Amino acid sequence: MAPIILDDLPFARQLYPFAEIRSVADIRIGILTIREKWEFVAHEKTHEKITTSSEMGMSQISAALKHNTVPANLVPSAAWIHEYLEGKAGLESLTDPALVHSLSYPWDIFRLNDWALRKDFEMITSGRTTGPIPGTVQAVNAPEIFIEPGATLNFCTLNAATGPIYIGRNTEIMEGATIRGPFALCEGSVVKMGTRIYGASTIGPNSTVGGEIKNVVIFGNSNKGHDGYLGDSVLGEWCNLGAGTSNSNLKNDAGEVKVWNQAEHNWSIAGNKCGLLMGDYSRSAINTSFNTGTMVGVCANIFGSGFAPKHVESFSWGTGKPGNYSFEKAIEHISNWKKLKKQVLTKNEIQRLKHIFDASVKA
């Protein structure tokens, strides 16, 4: 079988800001990223690394498009991947919502997270045995709870009656936390004392969360470590929400929510519920208030009185214009945050950030 190429180039702009730093294939939805879903199923059949069109040269792309190319914005189930690899399903089968969905807008990430969580849980845990549920943990519907090695849980409540709960390796759920599924806590992450989490929520790797969370996807390496409400929202990597930060996810008149659409440079209707969509490396000060359907770009440092603007552009300082956050200071601050998690900012990341900075200043 020809190697699988996930074609991400056509979809990057429409999934702003979550495809600014990463490939569309590396967007986390459910427990795994889209690429990881393919790798989980496809590796035994293809023995090839899953690659994307943005990782290839133009001549390679031209050749690849004639072979085994799949849109990178597809969110597949294991069943659909198996059928595709076996030639039993093609791209014409994309209308089956039981098997596959697609990301058309950034808010689709939290909208489809319930479905994706259930499918990933089934795939990851199939044929495996969970770790034991500690005696101090109050568990509801224990067969739908899966605990990986190295997880620490004490005096918390896990309610899987509303959906499965996945607890990843080397995670910690502190005392008094109350969690309703579907829910995923990915490797190395921490749920702090007294946290309340409603499904469908995913806390990506090496993140820390507290307060009240509902229907949220956090990609990884991010912090919402204090009280405050976060609902119907998506946070990229290396985000930090200051203590008391909260968002609105429903208008007072329960009407349609408009969200900035970067691809069309206009506002789009995102339905009746949409909270905060925050790109990588962005942060908010303590007690920041985000209005319904707020879009934040990459590397914005948000502070100031009243509600933040509904669209905060990349490299904004406070709530000012893009570019007010000097590139040198931004890189210094990102490096400081990475050191806290024992990581370093790479040259490739700096180059990508410089490209985004230059584009935001020119816009």
Q: Tokens for 162?
A: 């509303």
Do 122 and 221 belong to one domain? yes
Do 280 and 305 belong to one domain? yes
Do 165 and 218 belong to one domain? yes
Average pLDDT, the chain: 92
Provide φ and ψ at 353, rounded to 5°. -65, -40
> Which residues touch 326 (CB under 8 Å, ≥6 apart)?
none
Sign of CA dihedral 62, 66, 71, 75: negative
Do 223 and 109 belong to one domain? yes
Amino acid at 228: G
Half-sphere exposure of 228 (CA within 13 A, CB side): 23
Question: How many other β-carbons are positioned within 10 Å of the β-carbon of residue 59?
Answer: 8
**165-174 LR contacts (CB < 8 Å, sep 24+):** 166/31, 166/117, 166/120, 166/121, 166/124, 166/125, 168/205
Do 184 and 257 belong to one domain? no
Do 129 and 85 belong to one domain? no
Task: Please tell me the distance from the alpha carbon of residue 11 to that of residue 16, in angstroms, as a whole number.
Answer: 9
Domain count, the chain: 3
Burial class (CB in 10 A: 0-12, 13-18, 19+), 140: middle
Do 211 and 272 belong to one domain? no
Mean per-residue pLDDT, 21-40:
96
Helix (H) or strand (E) holding 223: strand 223-224
Q: How are beta strands 311-312 and 294-296 bridged, if at all?
A: parallel
Do 36 and 68 belong to one domain? yes
Q: Tokens for 216?
A: 């949220």
pTM: 0.94
Do 48 and 78 belong to one domain? yes
What pLDDT does residue 189 have?
A: 98
Point out the domain boundary residue: 43, 69, 104: 104
pLDDT in tens, 280-298: 999 999 999 999 999 999 9
Point out the domain boundary residue: 82, 104, 126: 104
Peptide bond into 97 cis (omega under 30): no
Do 90 and 109 belong to one domain? no
Q: How are beta strands 145-147 and 208-209 bridged, if at all?
A: unpaired
What pLDDT does residue 203 have?
A: 98
Residue 154: give its domain's CATH number: 2.160.10.10
For the cut 80, the answer to whether the pLDDT of residue 274 exceeds it is: yes
Point out the domain boundary residue: 178, 207, 230: 230
Do 212 and 94 belong to one domain? no
Q: Which domain holds residue 63?
A: 5-104
Find out whether 50 and 6 touch, Cβ atoms under 8 Å. yes
Burial class (CB in 10 A: 0-12, 13-18, 19+), 27: buried
Do 96 and 156 belong to one domain? no
Task: Please tell me the distance from the alpha carbon of residue 170 to that of residue 147, in angstroms, as a whole number.
Answer: 10
Amino acid at 268: S
Between 65 and 263, whose confidence is greater? 263
Segment of 80-84, 85-89, 250-254 carrying the highest mean pLDDT = 250-254
